[in-house]
Amino acid sequence: MATLGDIGVAATINILTAIIFLLAFAILRIQPFNDRVYFPKWYLKGIRSSPLHSGALVTKFVNVNLGSYLRFLNWMPAALKMPEPELIDHAGLDSAVYLRIYLIGLKIFVPIALLAWSILVPVNWTSDGLQLAKLRNVTSSDIDKLSISNIERGSDRFWTHLVMSYAFTFWTCYVLMKEYEKVAAMRLAFLQNEQRRPDQFTVLVRNVPADPDESISESVEHFFLVNHPDHYLTHQVVYNANDLAALVEQKKSTQNWLDYYQLKYTRNQEHKPRIKTGFLGLWGKKVDAIDHYIAEIEKLNEQILEERKKVKKDDTSVMPAAFVSFKTRWGAAVCAQTQQSSDPTEWLTEWAPEAREVFWSNLAIPYVSLTVRRLIMHIAFFFLTFFFMIPIAFVQTLASIEGIEKYAPFLKSIIEKKLVKSVIQGFLPGIVLKLFLIFLPSILMVMSKFEGFVSLSSLERRAASRYYIFNLVNVFLGSIIAGSAFEQLESFLKQSAKEIPKTVGVAIPIKATFFITYIMVDGWAGIAGEILRLKPLIFFHIKNSLLVKTEKDREEAMNPGQINYHATEPRIQLYFLLGLVYAPVTPVLLPFIIIFFALAYLVFRHQIINVYNQEYESAARFWPDVHGRIISALIISQILLMGLLSTKGAAQSTPFLLVLPILTFFFHRFCKGRYEPAFLRHPLKEAMVKDTLERAREPNFNLKPYLQKAYIHPVFKDNDYEDSRFDEISGYCIEDSDDECVTVPTKRQSRINTPAVSHASRGSSRSPPSK
């Protein structure tokens, strides 16, 4: 077991690493040529312009103002300065509420830490359970003297831990309830203040039943004209444009290569660049690169045009889904919340997601297929969680010396060299595992896509909850009980319901030092690394030197990134879990967690203000999940404490602990009923208020043309084609409103907070085909 000294050394190393990262960041960010990497948000908002345009040549690239180096930490107060309402305005509610997760961490753990250090630590310290144990040759460290391990078996002092556990639970629940209330109010206020947006009036209808006499479009129109006669306005059918999207994607990458070779040629005009046309440019005929790519693009343009015509003309490319728009928000709220037909698998309505977060390729999945997909993915996730070590171990065998020699004997001479051998033996297995863990969120995202969710936010929420479970089983339980998840499952099945909390509970105090180190490596240094943005920094400079020709290209090379909710939130939850589990057991761990939350809050606040650009805005739709996971962490901590205490001869206190999880669970049920509807449903009163206000403000606004083209597959919006040509092809305006179509309003309004076009929805065609 680690002593205080060991932890001190680890802390020093990690604090140094963190400081190095922060210093590097401080230096890099004030260099003008990195400006677009560290302040992309401001460029996207159009407020900041490139510093490269003005001043002397040197100052254009390197910052020579020495004073600014001295103030290298001044980003911290700057990050805190922006008040929350302005932050919501600047970055959207999702980002602002995401930051509140870190704040909750502070709100929960600072008072708990104070209480624990002023009561629990003295109680633990003044006991002498370990000294008695030492007589029986049990070794222990200084940290254990501060933990519950120091209390002798059957002591009455365990009542302190019991009372403290109640105090911690009540405090956590109190903070959670206040926060849920606050976030729900913020969400409602946000939705109420939002400007007019197409999705407020629109409902997504899926599983439109096939009708032999009518096209999908006619069928939708008739159904809603009959069943929502006073409210129905217009609708847009959904085209299956997955092939088209693939072509557009291909054209974009060809265009990139063309740009690259043109730039190369302008810099070195002596010989024209030539490439081989074969596989990966490795063999085949040598041709002039620029001519080749120009011809390729021309060919693709033609294909795209043809595909567009085909999609439009072919009735089979109309999916049985549509976006139906209503005259009022009230009408849309009614349609989204009610069942339309007596067959609950037809005419399924739900509130339409924002146009940019629609996951187009999933819109046509029929009802039965959805159930089957869900079943398959549940089973797949079960195996992924409990058996993921099997393929990893297999790849690790392949990547071992013997594996390589067996399957690729021609490499034998190389790997027999000492240096190569030690690298393979020492790093490869670890790298294979690390690679898997890095790609895990993406794998889970692909699984969610297969499951058939239709909006990016729901995809991310599902991936996040799976990632959380994976972390819980493999990181938390996996670290406490050494052994793979499958072995745990095996042993849990063999143990009785009473034994499991005991087995885990007993191991908890022992693993405290491990988790302290984990928090420092993953939490402190990792968060400090986040602010450095090493990957975007490198990619920006590579792209900048190879591809960028115009200012627009440079803007595209910027890649501000975003909070990857599905990858980051489950990791924060691990800290909540650690904090709550260790609060009554080893309170020494709490300050480390508090430092993590404080540092992460600072860093992410800075990044959200200056860097990230969210793809979509879900108005904090994810909050019920966050709340639910903290509650489950709380219940896990209570059960484990129960297990631990019952092995410590404090069985008489167990019944009192048994009450806690039950109360916590009902607190959760209460909160769910009280606040969750604000995140799921759409109150009619608020819709009516907004409708009335708007009618009073703009009595003559024509809604129909505004909504008529709001939900178009992004490939149809490609800038290379003039809108007129698309209109001709798509034929949206043919029906009855040729004159209205002239006044198509700008669609920019809907992106007030987060102006980027969604990468995922644009690239949705790359996901596995799901029909």
Residues numbered 163-192 forming contacts with its own copies, rule: CB under 8 A = 188
Tell me: does residue 749 bind its own copies (CB under 8 A).
no
Residue count of the chain = 771
- Give yes or no for a contact between 505 and 641, defined as CB atoms under 8 angstroms apart: yes
Q: Is 118 in the site for its own copies (CB under 8 A)?
A: no
Does the footprint of its own copies cover residue 193 (CB under 8 A)?
no
CA distances from 145 to 126, 164, 306, 711 (A): 9, 18, 76, 63
Number of residues this chain uses to bind its own copies (CB under 8 A): 48
- Rounded to a whole number of angstroms, the minimum distance from the CB of residue 677 to its own copies is 4
435 scored as a contact of its own copies (CB under 8 A): no
CB 634 to its own copies: min, Å = 17
Per DSSP, the three-state class of 237 is strand
Give the range of 344-352, 423-431, 550-558, 589-597 binding its own copies by CB under 8 A: 344-352
Which residues does residue 324 pair with via DSSP β-bridges, in sequence order? 203, 235
User: Going by C-beta distance under 8 Å and a sequence separation of 6 or more, which residues neighbour residue 494?
Assistant: none
Q: Which of the ranges 200-208, 363-371, 396-404, 513-521 carries the binding residues for its own copies, by CB under 8 A?
A: 363-371
Contact 355, 202 (CB under 8 A): no
Taking the least distance from each CB to its own copies, the nearer of 298 and 499 is: 499
Nearer to its own copies, 3 or 345 (CB): 345
Q: How far is the CB of 97 from its own copies (least distance, A)?
A: 17
Nearest residue (CB) to its own copies, 84 versus 499: 499
Helices (H), 452-470: 456-470
Q: Collapsing DSSP states into helix, strand and coil, what is residue 52?
A: helix
**Window of 87-95, 366-374, 395-403, 589-597 that interacts with its own copies by CB under 8 A:** 366-374
Angle at 697 between CA 693 and CA 702, to 5 degrees: 105
Near its own copies by CB under 8 A: residue from 83, 673, 699, 769: 673
The CA distance from 235 to 222, in Å, is 11
Beta carbons within 8 Å of 156's beta carbon, 6+ residues apart: none
CB contact at 8 A, 132 and 152:
yes
- Of 19, 62, 78, 375, which lies in the binding site for its own copies, with binding defined by CB under 8 A? 375
Question: Residue holding tokens 């190879």?
Answer: 546
Q: Does 369 bind its own copies (CB under 8 A)?
A: no
What span, in angstroms and rounded, lies between the C-alpha atoms of 35 and 659? 56
Q: Which helix (H) or strand (E) holds 480?
A: helix 478-480
348, 609 contact by CB (below 8 A): no
Shortest Å, Cβ 3 to its own copies: 38
371 binds its own copies (CB under 8 A): yes
- Residue 210 as a binder of its own copies (CB under 8 A): the answer is no
CA 663 – CA 634 distance, rounded (Å): 11
Choose which of 366, 628, 683, 755 interacts with its own copies (CB under 8 A): 683
Residue whose CB is less far from its own copies, 207 or 474: 207
Q: Is 334 in the site for its own copies (CB under 8 A)?
A: yes
Q: Name the strand (E) or helix (H) holding 307.
A: helix 289-313
Minimum separation from the CB atom of position 230 to its own copies (A): 6
Asked if 674 touches its own copies (CB under 8 A), the answer is yes
Q: Does 681 bind its own copies (CB under 8 A)?
A: yes
Binds its own copies by CB under 8 A, chosen from 29, 629, 682, 751: 682
CB < 8 Å & 24+ apart, contacts of 726-729? 726/308, 729/308, 729/309, 729/312
Query: What is the rounded (10 degree) CA torsion for 494, 499, 505, 511?
Result: -30
Distance CA 558, CA 460 (A): 24
Stretch that binds its own copies, among 143-151, 351-359, 446-454, 680-688 (CB under 8 A): 680-688
What sign for the dihedral angle of Cα 323, 326, 328, 333? negative
Given 56, 226, 696, 742, the residue binding its own copies (CB under 8 A): 226
CB of 690 to its own copies, least distance (A): 12
Residue 214 binds its own copies, judged by CB under 8 A: no
By CB under 8 A, is residue 69 in contact with its own copies? no
Task: Choose, by CB under 8 A, the member of 21, 25, 515, 675 that binds its own copies.
Answer: 675
| Identified binder of its own copies from the candidate list 250, 340, 484, 503, rule CB under 8 A | 340
Cβ 750 to its own copies, closest distance in Å? 23
Among 247, 311, 318, 333, binds its own copies (CB under 8 A): 333
**Contact between 696 and its own copies per CB under 8 A:** no
Site string for its own copies, 444-483 (x = CB under 8 A): ----------------------------------------
DSSP state of 455: B
Nearest to 325 by CA among 234, 397, 229: 234
Sole binder of its own copies in the list 669, 725, 766, 771 (CB under 8 A): 669
Single residue of 135, 497, 696, 742 touching its own copies by CB under 8 A: 497
Phi-psi category of 561—alpha, beta or left, where left has phi over 0 and alpha has psi -120 to 50? Answer: left
Should residue 93 be labelled a site residue for its own copies when binding is judged by CB under 8 A?
no
80 binding its own copies? (CB under 8 A): no
Element (H, E) at 439: helix 418-451
Q: Is 338 in the site for its own copies (CB under 8 A)?
A: yes
Residue by residue, DSSP assigns 578-640 as HHHHHTTT-TTHHHHHHHHHHHHHHHHHHHHHHT---S---SSTTHHHHHHHHHHHHHHHHHH
CB of 671 to its own copies, least distance (A): 10
For the four alpha carbons of 23, 26, 29 and 30, in that order, the dihedral sign comes to negative
**Four-point Cα dihedral 677, 456, 598, 32, nearest 10:** -140
- 278 touching its own copies, by CB under 8 A: no
For its own copies, the binding residues (CB under 8 A) are 188, 223, 226-228, 230, 333-334, 337-342, 344-345, 347, 367-368, 371, 374-375, 379, 492-499, 662, 666, 669-670, 673-678, 681-686, 688
